[in-house]
Structure 1
Amino acid sequence: MADPSSRVVASLVTAVFSYALMQTVVVPALGLLARELDATPTWSAWILSAFLLSSAVLTPLLGRLGDLRGRRRVLIGVLVAYAAGMVGAALAQDIGQLIAARIVQGAALAVVPLSMAILREAVPRERLPFAMGLVSGVVGAGAGAGLVVGGLLADHLSWRYLFVLGAVLALVSLVMAARWVPAGERTAPGRLDLPGAALLGLGMVAVLLALTKGPSWGWASAPVLGLFALGVVLLAVLVAVERRRSDPLIDIGELTDRPMLATHVSALLFGAVSYFFYVAMPLFAQQKPVAGAVGFGASVTVAGLLMLPGMLAIIPAGTAVGRISAALGPRGPLAAGFLLFAAGAALLALGHAAYWQHLVFYGVVGAGSGLVMGALPKLIADIVPLERTGTANGINNIVRTVGSVVGSQLAAAVAASSGPVVPDSAFSILFWLGAAGALLGAAVSPLAAVARAEQHA
């Protein structure tokens, strides 16, 4: 009979992979979706933005609900909603219905923090770093696989199969979770902080909406500046409200504690530098090398395959976090990951004219990404008590999402600054920015380590 904890890990890996794959699988098909559903570019952009904004609102709330009411129960509810959202998207008849389905799908990001909390309960302590690293690695590897799978399905089948695949994966994950994930014994005291959740959700929506619409509305336009101002005001009110609550969604003291603050800054930086590559590498691969332009003129599928080795490198790197921590201490994996990321980024900045350079150098970036992704939940587990694991990981994931939006918008701005044809210098700038951001992450990472890992066992 299989070890019960191995079954738990298998079910959580499947659930997280389902989310991660579908996070990016629509990216290669955005143009096709716009044509098939007769949508303008503005409306088609909401296929991604609606998912992102929904995740920002729901993830911390669902993570906290799991801490309060039981992670297994909330995980199953999230997977049911996710499956329904996938079915709705597969059956969508217009762009409005598809966007509504993507809003429902946004709940799935909560699978990641809920999984981290379940692992702390169900997996023996000596195997916990490996399990956390594996689940974290699957987030990155699944996102990379989504680019390849999305390209294949978009090139050869109907776009509806993107969501049929998602529905099947969600249902398989639901069955595995229902059979193998234990109910758990420990839940946090207190009530769900609805005012805090509303303020956090609205504040994050305002900031993320400003970031996503800034390029089209204008960064200095009244709507964008107003959204930024509204977000700052709402988050300031959130701080004031949470300081007075005995059971806050956001523990301000915990958030401003140096190790936790450094962990969130690391997540923000990682989200940003990762998206420099998600934007730059497919763009370079698909750009036709005519009239002095650089690129490979490759198909969507080939562009995704060029990133696949880097995405696959994430999983073994993530599972090595425990061994590196034992050898170098708790700060070792995060610092090593950022340094490895910086090295791969610098190599790409220096040479990216050949296929093998993209395959090999992005493989180095992927290995660094795996270490960073595996280290962050391990550091959070060292900082917070078990009953706040889902909440803290949920906030960390949202911080990384904000970084991703910043990185994607900055990358898009650099790429578009020279007109319709992106010059080689723009790609070099993006890769150097990735290296610089990763070096900054390496400088911050020692501050994220704590010397009290035994405190919340």
Structure 2
Amino acid sequence: MTTASSRLRRRGALLFGGLGSIVGFLAFVEFTSGVLQGYYTPLLTDLARHLGVNDADVNWLEGSQLMLSALVVPALSKLGDQVGHRMVLIWSTMVTLAASIALVIAPEFWIFLVAWALQGFYVVWLPLEIALIYVRASARTEDQQDQEDPDDREDRDPAHGAPGPAAVTRRAAALLVGALEVGAIAGALAAGALVDTMDVQAVLAVPAIVVGLCLVAIILGVEETPGASPANFRMRDFDLSGLGWVTLALLLIMGALFVVRGTGLAPDRPGLWLSVLMLGAGAAALWRFVAVERAHPDPLIDVRMFTDPALWPVFATAGLFGVSVLGAQAPLSTFARTDPAVYGYGLGTTGFQTSLIIGIYLIAMVAGALLLPTVSRWASPRLALLFATLAVAAGFALFLPFHETIGQVITNMVVVGLGSGALVASLPAAAAAAAPREQTGVATGLTNSVKTLGGAVASCVFGLALATTAFAGAPEAASAELIEGGTAGSFSGYLTVWIVCSLTALASAVLLLFVPKRAFA
């Protein structure tokens, strides 16, 4: 036993340059992140009933969290560089824990909505962890070189030397992403099994417990970034002006969509014109944000990168991809839970059956990511990504004629998952390769932020589509009385979701033709 554990410790030291213990604790953090990402999706219909809202309204949960995530990642990532990655990791985990507890006791939908949005602070965990590992690995390498005799360094066999910071970070990132996927699958399966046997509030308490354990793991097992000096941090050096303008812009845009959801699109209703004014004000705030960022010496977001001819196709592709990979999660879950005996469409699945569908989809995403290198060697990196986007487009198009059985939906989801997994794995790398060498990290972060924004806007728009009362295409067996008093999203809304996701994937395929060759090196 002792020999085996010693062997594992030596292997961890070799793989992670002496950072095996920290990487192990951070892997549990990412497992928790995966649980949060997978746990709630099978529960969305149950949450809608618990909160007394329609299925269409759960899209606002996804939209609000994604919108906040787009703000949190660049702001807290930059703050981590300035005050210490461990400190910001603890802060963000405390906010996530408080929000997870609030979800259990929230008495109203709007309180639940705010708590759900704040729970999205967990999205910054992975960028902070990667930065922390890289900085610690670099510091350890420098210390070893300083203590090493120059003659020994020249005679040492490079094959048996300690791995460099980049190698350590790549290996650690692979382990962290693997832990995240395992957590997502475990979370989805656990939620589906529990919701069929327990009260919704009791089911909601499970993520709060897991996040609490995660906070303990960070405090006890993760050391601060070497050289971090919170005492030297000056708030006036932080781009608060840029953060304020982009926050105002996103709040106005999302608020406009929320007003339309409440009042409808009829020209004779004041809500339509209020939403138009809010959209105009949001566009003006966004314009001001761009001007502020251009003038700031250390901007929150380097907006100049969006005009780079080598990068804008990658960012646009990421935004369009976010529509399907993030915006369509809630509609797919609620469609599966809709009872066909009542509404004439849907699958009528239990919570556990829904979680199995989601688990198979996640496994397909992992398979797509793993198959990407093989397909790239067989064809070319550009063709591999084109195949991936076309798979996403085909998978959602298949929903239009084939959506009546669990087998049909699983087949569609597997096709979508294979393409989505490849895109998730490759788009950040394409952005890093297309960007100037000194801006690779920024480009990768912006790819994630743009993808999140695309998902946020899509979630809000899909919520509007599902809230429509025209059940176009629904079988006549669904009586008008049941439909008017029901809580399911409209069938025409689900058709809209599938069509939009398919078309945006096709548009992504076209944009990939404009990405420069060096991005696929």
| TM-score > 0.5, shorter chain as reference | yes
Pairwise mapping of residues 284-363 of structure 1 onto structure 2 (< 5 A)? 284-290=335-341, 293-321=344-372, 331=382, 334-363=385-414
**1:257 — aligned with what?**
308
In 1, are the aligned partners of 2:382 and 2:520 still within 8 Å (CA)?
A: no
CA distance in 2, matches of 1:442, 1:245: 35
Shift of 1:6: 6.0
Alignment of 1:439 with 2:506, yes or no, is yes
Alignment of 1:214 with 2:214, yes or no, is no
In 1, are the aligned partners of 2:69 and 2:120 still within 8 Å (CA)?
A: yes
In 1, are the aligned partners of 2:250 and 2:282 still within 8 Å (CA)?
A: yes
CA distance in 1, matches of 2:57, 2:503: 34
More divergent stretch after superposition (249-258 vs 271-280): 271-280
Question: Matched residue of 1:451: which SS?
Answer: helix
In 2, are the aligned partners of 1:415 and 1:422 still within 8 Å (CA)?
A: no
In 2, are the aligned partners of 1:82 and 1:108 still within 8 Å (CA)?
A: yes
The amino acid that maps onto 2:200 is W
CA distance in 2, matches of 1:36, 1:69: 41
**2:80 — aligned with what?**
66
Alignment of 1:242 with 2:298, yes or no, is no
Change (3 A) 1:249 1:14: same
1:76-122 Cα deviation digits (max 9, x unpaired): 32123222332344355666664554354232222243345456655
The amino acid that maps onto 1:170 is V
The amino acid that maps onto 2:279 is F
Shift of 1:136: 5.7
In 2, are the aligned partners of 1:141 and 1:311 still within 8 Å (CA)?
A: no
The amino acid that maps onto 2:293 is E
Number of paired residues? 453
Alignment of 1:77 with 2:91, yes or no, is yes
CA distance in 1, matches of 2:101, 2:172: 30
CA distance in 2, matches of 1:26, 1:347: 25
CA distance in 1, matches of 2:32, 2:174: 17
Change (3 A) 1:95 1:295: closer
CA distance in 1, matches of 2:431, 2:132: 14
Change (3 A) 1:142 1:406: farther
In 2, are the aligned partners of 1:61 and 1:197 still within 8 Å (CA)?
A: yes
Shift of 1:310: 1.1
The amino acid that maps onto 1:255 is F
1:287-321 Cα deviation digits (max 9, x unpaired): 33348923332224323322321122222433455
CA distance in 2, matches of 1:10, 1:333: 33
Change (3 A) 1:404 1:148: farther
2:195 maps to which of 135, 141, 154: 154
Pairwise mapping of residues 398-409 of structure 1 onto structure 2 (< 5 A)? 398-409=449-460
In 2, are the aligned partners of 1:26 and 1:150 still within 8 Å (CA)?
A: yes
CA distance in 2, matches of 1:161, 1:36: 12
Identical pairs, percent: 26
More divergent stretch after superposition (72-81 vs 15-24): 15-24
Pairwise mapping of residues 40-59 of structure 1 onto structure 2 (< 5 A)? 50-59=64-73
**2:142 — aligned with what?**
none
Change (3 A) 1:414 1:30: closer
Change (3 A) 1:440 1:34: closer
Change (3 A) 1:100 1:415: closer
1:341-375 Cα deviation digits (max 9, x unpaired): 22323344343333222223311211211111111
Question: Matched residue of 1:211: which SS?
Answer: helix
Provide the TM-score with structure 2 as the length reference.
0.72
CA distance in 2, matches of 1:88, 1:291: 33
The amino acid that maps onto 1:217 is T
In 1, are the aligned partners of 2:95 and 2:121 still within 8 Å (CA)?
A: yes
Question: Matched residue of 1:156: which SS?
Answer: coil
Question: Matched residue of 1:259: which SS?
Answer: coil
The amino acid that maps onto 1:196 is G
In 1, are the aligned partners of 2:310 and 2:516 still within 8 Å (CA)?
A: yes
Change (3 A) 1:231 1:251: same
More divergent stretch after superposition (172-181 vs 270-279): 172-181
**2:161 — aligned with what?**
none
**1:164 — aligned with what?**
205
C-alpha RMSD of matched pairs (Å): 4.1
Gaps of 5+ in 2: 1-8, 138-163, 476-490
1:196 maps to which of 242, 245, 253: 242
In 1, are the aligned partners of 2:60 and 2:459 still within 8 Å (CA)?
A: no
In 2, are the aligned partners of 1:330 and 1:450 still within 8 Å (CA)?
A: no
CA distance in 1, matches of 2:437, 2:358: 36
In 2, are the aligned partners of 1:331 and 1:449 still within 8 Å (CA)?
A: no
The amino acid that maps onto 1:236 is W
CA distance in 2, matches of 1:384, 1:82: 33
In 1, are the aligned partners of 2:432 and 2:441 still within 8 Å (CA)?
A: no
CA distance in 1, matches of 2:256, 2:174: 33
**2:430 — aligned with what?**
379
CA distance in 2, matches of 1:452, 1:370: 18
Shift of 1:438: 1.3
Shift of 1:236: 0.6
Alignment of 1:183 with 2:197, yes or no, is no
Gaps of 5+ in 1: none
1:370-401 Cα deviation digits (max 9, x unpaired): 11111122234435579867755554333223
The amino acid that maps onto 1:243 is R
In 2, are the aligned partners of 1:333 and 1:375 still within 8 Å (CA)?
A: no
Change (3 A) 1:214 1:120: farther
